[in-house]
């Protein structure tokens, strides 16, 4: 009897030892062959890959592509108003710069993607607008340069609007809209561009 009991105890010990060596099925093989812990094995982890702020994509509303033409930067009503009040579009004689800040003119002329649009004539009222694609990380630097030049900046249309004298600059995401004028611009001109480009 004691011999049978001892054999049974020995068998149980062998079974326990073997089951203790079985790996837990909580690791998943990655395509490179390495293994990563299962998300469910980490306390508080979510199965959603976007739960971490660092993995959240940048809002698409902040990003724009360079417009294909000047007609694409205005709403239909603003385009019609400009055509009636300050024709023509892109007269070759209008050479006014879209920004009067020399260092920022250098940035526009450096080869960054830019669309230049003008209204009016060289002999009369005129305005010039540039839509420039920049690195979003450069926007604070542009704003600082505007502030140093005496511009007043405030939140507007989901971005930053900086104004001084006959110039208005709008910064949002990767877009920078700069406009200067020799006479006047229609009310809401820059805001219309912002609404058209960013929605």
Residue 176 has pLDDT above 60, yes or no: yes
Which range has highest mean pLDDT (22-31, 51-60, 106-115)?
A: 106-115
Average pLDDT for the chain? 78
Residue 9 has pLDDT above 60, yes or no: no
Q: Which two tokens stand for residue 153?
A: 């900046």
Residue with tokens 């980490």: 42
Rounded CA separation 75/91 (Å): 20
CB count within 10 Å of CB 175 equals 24
Contact 143, 165 (CB under 8 A): no
Q: Which two tokens stand for residue 189?
A: 């001109």
Q: Please name which of 191, 189, 183, 188 lies closest in space to residue 126, comparing C-alpha atoms.
A: 183
Type and span of the H or E element at 67: none
Q: According to the model, what pLDDT value does residue 62 have?
A: 76
pTM exceeds 0.85: no
Average pLDDT over residues 192-196: 98
Q: According to the model, what pLDDT value does residue 183 have?
A: 84
Q: According to the model, what pLDDT value does residue 48 have?
A: 36
The 10 Å CB-count burial string (b at 16+, else e) for 109-147 is eeeeebbbbbbbeeeeebbbbbbbbbeeeebeebbebbe
Alpha helices in the chain (DSSP H): 2-19, 76-85, 102-108, 139-148, 189-198
Q: According to the model, what pLDDT value does residue 55 have?
A: 38
- What is the per-residue pLDDT across 72-100, written as a single tens digit (0 to 9) for each? 999 999 999 999 999 999 999 999 999 99
pLDDT tier, 58 (very low <50, low <70, confident <90, very high otherwise) = very low
Q: What percent of the residues of the chain are helix, what percent strand, and what percent coil, each to the nearest 5? A: 35, 25, 40
């Amino acid at each position: 009897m004691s011999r049978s009991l001892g054999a049974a105890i020995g068998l149980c010990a062998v079974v326990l030892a073997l089951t203790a060596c079985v790996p837990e099925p909580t690791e998943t093989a990655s395509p490179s062959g390495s293994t990563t812990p299962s998300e469910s094995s980490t306390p508080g982890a979510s199965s959603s890959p976007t739960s971490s702020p660092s993995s959240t994509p940048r809002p698409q509303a902040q990003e724009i592509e360079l417009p294909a033409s000047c007609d694409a930067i205005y709403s239909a009503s603003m385009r019609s108003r400009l055509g009636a009040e300050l024709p023509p579009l892109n007269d070759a004689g209008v050479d006014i710069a879209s920004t009067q800040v020399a260092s920022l003119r250098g940035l526009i002329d450096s080869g960054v993607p830019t669309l230049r649009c003008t209204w009016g004539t060289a002999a009369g009222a005129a305005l010039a607008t540039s839509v420039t694609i920049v690195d979003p990380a450069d926007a604070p630097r542009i704003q600082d340069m505007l502030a140093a030049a005496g511009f007043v900046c405030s939140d507007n249309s989901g971005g930053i609007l900086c104004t001084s004298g006959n110039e208005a600059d709008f910064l949002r995401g990767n877009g920078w809209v700069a406009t200067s004028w020799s006479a006047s611009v229609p009310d809401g001109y820059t805001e219309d561009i912002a609404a058209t480009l960013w929605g």
